[in-house]
Structure 1
Amino acid sequence: MTDRTLIERARRAGLSVRWRDTAGRVQQVPGENLSRLLNVVESMSGRATGTGLPAMIVAISGRPTPLPLPEGMQSSPFRITLENGERLEGSLRQIRGKPALPALTVHGYHQLEIGPHATRLAVAPASCPTINTITGTENARIWGVGAQTYGLRMPGDGGIGHFGAVATLARLAGARGADALAISPAHAMFAARPGQYSPYSPSTRLFLNALLADPHAVFDTATVQAAMQKGGRAYVDALKNLETTPLIDWAAASGYRYQLLRRLYEDRVASQPPAELAAFRAAGGTALERHAIFETLHAHFATYGARGGDWRRWPVAMRQPASPEVARFAAEFAHDVGFHVFVQWLAARSLAQACHTARASGMRVGIIADMAVGIDPTGSECWARQEEFLTGASIGAPPDALSPLGQDWGLTTFSPAGLRATGYRAFIETLRAGFAHGGGLRIDHVMGLERLWVIPQGGSSAEGAYLSFPLSDLLPLVALEAERARAVVIGEDLGTVTASFRKAAQQRGVMGMNVLFFERTSHGAFRPPVAWSPGSAAFTTTHDLPTVAGWWQGVDIDWRAQLNQFAPGTTADTQRTERENDRTALWSALSAARGTAGGKRVAEKPPATVAGARQVVDDAIGFVAATPCPLGIIALEDLLGLAEQPNLPGTTTGHPNWRRRYAGMTATLLSGADARRRVNRLRAERGHA
C-alpha cells in the first residue's frame, strides 16, 4: 500500500495524519499507527444501506438544509411527516447549485421522504436554552454548588453517599438562594468490579450507578432498618464503622450496600414487583434488559478470573447479546436479571426525587448532571452495541510537557461511522440519559464532539492520532435534546481547544468553563472578574484541580512531591517557588477586586497556612461571583474551606482519588460560620442579597 493510498484512507475515515503539539511543532503520525487505527475505524460504513440518504439529516431551525443527494434525486419532491403527525410537502430548493430543503421551524425528529427513499430529519433550535431563558431574567447571574455525590454523608448510608443526600443538599442550598447543584457523574459502574469506582470510567452512560440509589426513595425507614438488622449484629456494626471513616472503602462499602439492596429485592419486590417497576422495565426496553443481563453475565464470568471481567474474552456465543445462548442464560438467571432492573429503578427514582426537591426548594435550574467523555470498553454498553463504539481502541491525550508519554484513559468512544450509520442513535440516547431528570448537563471534555485522540488497542498513547467527529451534526443534536429537557449545557473546554470549536459551541449556546486558576494573561496576571467570559460558567476549581485552600497552602505540590510526580525539568522546590509567585499574583487580583467592589483592601498577603487560606477562600469566592458569567459554581470543598481535592490526575494509587467524604452530615454542611459567610458573599456578589 502506498503512502498516498494510506493517507487518503485516513482522510476518508477522519484520522489526521498530522497534529500540532503543545510547543507548536507539527508531528507526523507513522504509517504503521495509521494502519492499526484504520482497522478499527473503518469497521463500519458511514451511510445507511438500501437508501440514497444518510440515516439521519440534521437541520438548523430557520435555515435551508443542503442534502447529500445522489444523481437522479436532485429534482425530486419531498414529503415530511412531523412528530405530531402533520405532513409537509414541497420541492427542493437549489442553493449554490446544490439541492436543499427549505427552512423549517418545527423542532423535533421527523420523517423525510424524497422519491422512494426515506430517512429521519432532526430539526434543531439554533441554541441550547440559556440561563436567561430558564430563569426568565435578562442578564441573569445565578449561582450554584458543586458536590461529589459519593462524598456526602447521611445517617445509615453505610459509607457511600447517595441521591438522598443530594436531595438534602439541594434543599439546603436552594433555601439559601442557590439555583443549581452540579453533581459528579452518576453513570452505571460494574456491580462485580467494586475496585473500579472512578465516576469517569463507567460501564455505560445510559443507566445509573446503583450504589447511589437511596432505599428510602421507595421503602419506609422501618423496612430499610429491618433489612439491615437481618444481616446480624456484625453487619450493622460494619456499616456504622464504614460511615465514620474519612475515606470510602469501596470494596467493603459496595459489598454491604449490595447486600442491603438484595435483601430489599428478595423480601419486598421479587415475588410481586410493583406496577411502577414493571412500567419502568417496559419503558427501558432492550437497552435496560441487556444492561441487566450483562451485569448478571459479568458477575458469572468474573468468578473465572481476570479474563472473565472482559466480555471480549468470553465464549464467542456470549459475546453476542442477541445470541440464543445469551437468551437461555437470561432465562435461567431471570431472578438475578430482575434484581439489576430493580436497582436501576430504585436509582432512577432516587435521582428523580432529588431533582424534584431541588426545584421545589426554589432552584430555577436544579440538578446539573455530568456526562463522562467515554465508557469502559469491557462494559455493558460496548457489549450491547458493538457496532456503535470503537471497541478496539481507547481514547486519551497526545504526549505533552506534563505527560511526555501521553495519556491513555482506558476508555473508548463512539464510532463516527457507526453514529452516522445508525442515525446518531447512541449519542442521542446518551444525551437523553443525561438530561433525564436534571435541569442541566456538563459534558466532560466537550472538545470530543469535534475530535478525540484515539489509541490502537495494545498500543502506547504516543501511537495514537486525532479522529474527527461530525461536530456540525452533534452540536445541534445537543441543542435539540437540551431544549426538549429545558436544560442548560456546560462544556468542559479546558486545555487545547480549536478556535473553530469555541466559535461553534458559543453559537449553539454551550457554556464554556472559566476556572479561577486558568483565567490569566500571557504575563501571568489573574484576569479581573470583568474580563471573564459572559458565555461561560464560572468556577473556583474543578474535581481535577486543587481546592482554593489547598492551592494556597501548596497541598497539591506536597502530594506530587510525595508521589514523585513532576514534569521533566521541574522539582518540588521550583514548583514551590513558582507557587509563591502565583500566590502574590492572585492576592493582588483579589485585593484589587475587593477594592473595586467597595470592600476593604487588605494590603498584606496572608501566609500559606490554614488560617491564611481562610481569607483567600472568602475573597476567591467573591471574585468568581463578581464575574459577568451567567452561572457561578462554587465547589462544596471551597464553601467549606477544605484543603484536599477529590482527584489528583495522573495517579491511580498513592492519592485517595474519588474516596474523600465531607466531614459533616449533609444536613449541617452549610450551617457552619465559614460556609454561612461565604454563601452570604455569593448572594451579595450575584445580586441576591
Structure 2
Amino acid sequence: MKPNTHLERAGLIAPDYIDAHGRPQQVSALTRDRLLGLMPPSSDGASPLPAAVVFHQGEPLMLSPVLFAPADWQLTSETGERWSGRCAPGETIALPALPDGYHQLTLEHETQRDSCCIIVAPRRCYEPPALLAGDSLWGSCIQLYTLRSANNWGIGDFGDLQRMIVETARHGGAFVGLNPLHALFPAEPESASPYSPSSRRWLNILYIDVGAVADFQHSEAAQAWWRLEATQQALQAARRAEWVDYPAVTRLKLAGLRLAWRQFQQRDAEDAEVTAFDAFIEAGGDSLLFQGVFDALHAERRAQSRACHGWQSWPEAFQRPDSAAVLAFRIEQSDKVRFYLWLQWLAAQQFAACWQRCQQQQMAIGLYRDLAVGVARDGAETWRERELYCLEASVGAPPDILGPLGQNWGLPPMDPQVMAARAFDPWITLLRASMQDCGALRIDHVMALLRLWWIPQGESAAEGAYVHYPLDALLAILALESQRHRCMVIGEDLGTVPAAIVDKLRDAGVYSYKVLYFEQASQQAFRAPAQWPRQAMAVTTTHDMPTLRGWWRSDDLRLGSALGLYPDKAVLAGLYRDRQAARTALLRTLLRSGALPARQRYQRGGARMTRALSLAILGYLAGTQSALLGLQPEEWLDMATPVNVPGTTDAYPNWRRKLSATLEEMFSDPAVETLLAAVDRGRKGMK
C-alpha cells in the first residue's frame, strides 16, 4: 500500500473535478485505486537529485541535493564548459548562469555517481517576426488525405501539398495547416485515423508521391507495371472513389514502391542517394530501426493471419522488440526491414521539399503540423516503449453537454513518472520530430500538458479520473524547442479548460485555438471582431466538427441522432433549440459587424446557407483581432459532409471523405478566387 499512498500524496490523481456544467464531481475510490495500481511507485527517493530540474532563463540556479555525506559535483554545459565543487549534507549548490539548453550535473560520493539534467528554458515560445510586427495572417487548413488531383493515386500526397502551398501563397496565405502526418499501419490500411497512429515520431508513408520518386521513374519494371491496363484501371477507380479506398491505395503504392526499391538497390554503395539513406538510418537510431522492424513484422504476421491486428495479438516471442525471435527476424528479413526504412526516408525527403517550397514562396509561417495526443495501443511506439505507456488504461474525456456518455479515445497514456525519470527525453524527442520542417505546431488537446482523463481498461468513459502531468516542466521544454526550431505553437484548448492552465499557456506564448461555433458571447450575439484575442488562431470548424454548411443546417445533430449518439431525446431537442438560437445570434453579429449587408433580410434563425452568407461569415472571421485565421477548403467548396464523427468507429466512414473538387478545379473556380481575395483583403486591413 505504500506506493499508492505516495502517489496520492504526490497528487497525481485528482479526487474530483468540475464537469462541463460547472458542477463538482467526485472520483470513486475504486477508480483511483485501479489507476494507482497501473503506475509503479516513483524511484526518485533513491537519488539525491531528480533526473531533471527545469529553470527559466534569469532564475538563480539553486539545487538542494538530499545527501548523507559530502559529495563532489561537476557541471558540464551543453557546449562543453565545466565547473566543479563540493557539497555537504544540507547545503545548497549555486550553479553559474547558463544559457538556454540541456546541461549535465553529476554528483559523486565514494562509489556512487548520480546525474541530473539541468534544463534552462526561455519563458516564451517562438513567434514569427510578422506576428510580432502586428500582421494578421491567414492560411489553408487541410486534411491531406482528402485532396483530389489529376496526379495523385486516390489519396492526397506530398505532391498535392506542394500544389496547395503554391496556390495558398499565390492568394496571400501565410501557411498550410495539416492533419497529423504520423505513421499509421501499412499492413492494416483500414486503421486510418491520423489521431490513432502507430508512432508520432515517423511519417505516414501513404503520403509519398510515388510518381515523383526517381527510382520509380528510372525503373523499367516499374514503368512497365505503370503502363499495364490493370494498373491504370485500379488507379482510376481509386481516384474516382468518393471515399479514400485505403486498401486499394495501399496496394497500388506499395506495388510501385517495391519496384522502385529494387531499382534503388542497384545503386553503387558510394552513390549520393545511398549515402544519404544510410545517414538517415544512423540519425534515426533505434526509434527508426524498430519502426521498420515493426512494419515488416506486422506485414508478415498479417499475411499469415488477418486476425493479427497489432503486436498484442502476435505470438509471445515477437511481443518484445529485444527478443531473440525479433533479432532473428531482423537478420533474416533485413531486406524487408530496409524497405520500410527507405519508405520513411522517401517520406521525410518529400516533406522536407514541401517545407523548402514554403520558404521559396516566402510564406511567413509555411507548414503547420499537428501533434496527436497519443498513439494506438498496439502500434510501433508502444511495442518499443512498453514501460513508458500505461497499456491497461486509455485516455478520453468525461461526459459533457455534447457527449453525454463521455469519450474513450482508446489511446494508452504516457506515465508522467516515467517521463520525469527519463529527464523528459520522451517529450523532447517527440517535439524535435514534430517541429522538423515546419513553422508552426498545433498540439491537439493541449490540456494534456496539465492533465489527462484516464479510463481503466474495461470501464466506461464516465468511470475515469484526471491524472496530472508536470505542466511547468513540459511548457518550459516546449518553449525551448520552439525557439530552437523557430516553430510557433498553437494549443487546441477546446472543451473544459481548467483555470490553472489558461494563464500559463498565454504567458508561455502558446496561441489559443478559437472555433467560431464556441464564440457565442451571449444569447444575442457572437463575440465582436475586436474582442477576439490577439494571441489566437481563429477557425470556423475542425476535423471533429461539422462543416459550416453542416452546422448551419444541423446536419451533425441529425447524423448523431441516427447513429445513436444522443439517446436522450430531451437533450437532443435542447441542442436543436440552441443551434437555432446560435444561427440567429450569428446573423445579428454579422449585421452589426458589417460583414453582412444590412439591406439583406433573413428570417430569425431560418436563413438558408448561401454563398453570400458563407462569404459573410468568413469575412467576419477575417476581421477579428486574432493573429491567425485558418480556412478549410470544405468552406470554399460549400461542402456539408463531415470528415469525422467523434464517438463512432464503424458506424461512419471517418477519415475517408474526399473534397468535392480536384485541386485543379478548385483553384480555377471564380467563386474560390473571390472568396480568398476577400479574406486576404480583410486580413491585410487589420494592421
Cα distance in 1 for partners of 2:45, 2:665 equals 56
Cα distance in 1 for partners of 2:290, 2:301 equals 16
Is the deviation greater in 265-274 or in 510-519?
265-274
Equivalent pairs counted in the alignment come to 677
Give SS of 2:53's match. Answer: strand
Which of 36, 39, 42 is matched with 1:38 structurally?
36
Give SS of 1:368's match. Answer: strand
Is the deviation greater in 186-195 or in 613-622?
613-622
Q: Which residue pairs with 2:479 in the alignment?
A: 479
User: In the alignment, does 2:575 pair up with 1:579?
Assistant: no
Cα distance in 2 for partners of 1:224, 1:592 equals 62
Q: Which residue pairs with 1:331 in the alignment?
A: 331
Cα distance in 1 for partners of 2:355, 2:3 equals 53
Is the deviation greater in 665-674 or in 182-191?
665-674
Cα distance in 2 for partners of 1:14, 1:186 equals 31
Structure 1, residues 116-157: CA drift from partner, whole Å, max 9, x if none?
5432222111100124x3x27522211111001001123332
Which of 158, 174, 198 is matched with 1:179 structurally?
174
Q: Which residue pairs with 2:416 in the alignment?
A: 416
- Check 1:447–1:331 CA distance in 2 against 1; reply closer, same or farther (3 A cut): same
User: In the alignment, does 2:452 pair up with 1:455?
Assistant: no
- Check 1:47–1:591 CA distance in 2 against 1; reply closer, same or farther (3 A cut): same
Aligned-partner residue type, residue 209 of structure 1: N
Shift of 1:391: 2.0
Give SS of 1:207's match. Answer: strand
Decide whether the 8 Å contact of 2:4 with 2:36 is kept in 1. Answer: no
User: In the alignment, does 2:110 pair up with 1:110?
Assistant: no
Structure 2 residue runs without a partner (length 5+): none
Q: Which residue pairs with 1:200 in the alignment?
A: 195
Q: Which residue pairs with 1:436 in the alignment?
A: 436
Cα distance in 1 for partners of 2:389, 2:500 equals 26
- Check 1:314–1:98 CA distance in 2 against 1; reply closer, same or farther (3 A cut): farther
User: In the alignment, does 2:185 pair up with 1:190?
Assistant: yes
Q: Which residue pairs with 2:677 in the alignment?
A: 680
The root-mean-square deviation of aligned C-alpha atoms, in Å, is 2.9
Cα distance in 2 for partners of 1:583, 1:93 equals 69
Shift of 1:382: 0.7
Q: Which residue pairs with 2:317 in the alignment?
A: 317
Give SS of 2:189's match. Answer: coil
Counterparts of residues 22-61 of structure 1 (less than 5 Å):
22-42=20-40, 45=42, 47=44, 51-61=47-57
Structure 1, residues 37-84: CA drift from partner, whole Å, max 9, x if none?
122122x635396x42222222211112453521458x9786432222
User: In the alignment, does 2:241 pair up with 1:245?
Assistant: yes
Decide whether the 8 Å contact of 1:13 with 1:41 is kept in 2. Answer: no
Cα distance in 1 for partners of 2:606, 2:564 equals 23
Decide whether the 8 Å contact of 1:395 with 1:408 is kept in 2. Answer: yes
- Check 1:296–1:5 CA distance in 2 against 1; reply closer, same or farther (3 A cut): closer
Counterparts of residues 32-181 of structure 1 (less than 5 Å):
32-42=30-40, 45=42, 47=44, 51-67=47-63, 69-72=65-68, 79-88=74-83, 99=92, 101=94, 104=97, 106-114=99-107, 117-131=114-128, 133=129, 135=130, 137-181=132-176
Aligned-partner residue type, residue 29 of structure 1: V
Q: Which residue pairs with 1:630 in the alignment?
A: 627
Give SS of 2:684's match. Answer: coil
Structure 1 residue runs without a partner (length 5+): none
Structure 1, residues 352-410: CA drift from partner, whole Å, max 9, x if none?
11111122112111100000000011110111111112222111112334333321101
Decide whether the 8 Å contact of 1:64 with 1:100 is kept in 2. Answer: no
Give SS of 1:510's match. Answer: coil
Give SS of 1:458's match. Answer: coil
Shift of 1:461: 1.9
Q: Which residue pairs with 2:653 in the alignment?
A: 656
Cα distance in 2 for partners of 1:458, 1:561 equals 25
Decide whether the 8 Å contact of 2:74 with 2:106 is kept in 1. Answer: yes
Decide whether the 8 Å contact of 1:559 with 1:655 is kept in 2. Answer: no
Q: Which residue pairs with 2:262 in the alignment?
A: 266
Give SS of 1:246's match. Answer: coil
Shift of 1:337: 0.3
Aligned-partner residue type, residue 496 of structure 1: T
Which of 193, 203, 208 is matched with 1:213 structurally?
208
Cα distance in 1 for partners of 2:664, 2:64 equals 57
- Check 1:656–1:5 CA distance in 2 against 1; reply closer, same or farther (3 A cut): closer
Cα distance in 1 for partners of 2:451, 2:190 equals 30
Aligned-partner residue type, residue 363 of structure 1: M
Aligned-partner residue type, residue 382 of structure 1: T
Is the deviation greater in 615-624 or in 433-442?
615-624
- Check 1:389–1:612 CA distance in 2 against 1; reply closer, same or farther (3 A cut): closer
Give SS of 1:230's match. Answer: helix
Decide whether the 8 Å contact of 2:523 with 2:582 is kept in 1. Answer: no
Is the deviation greater in 605-614 or in 312-321?
605-614
TM-score by length of structure 1 reads 0.91
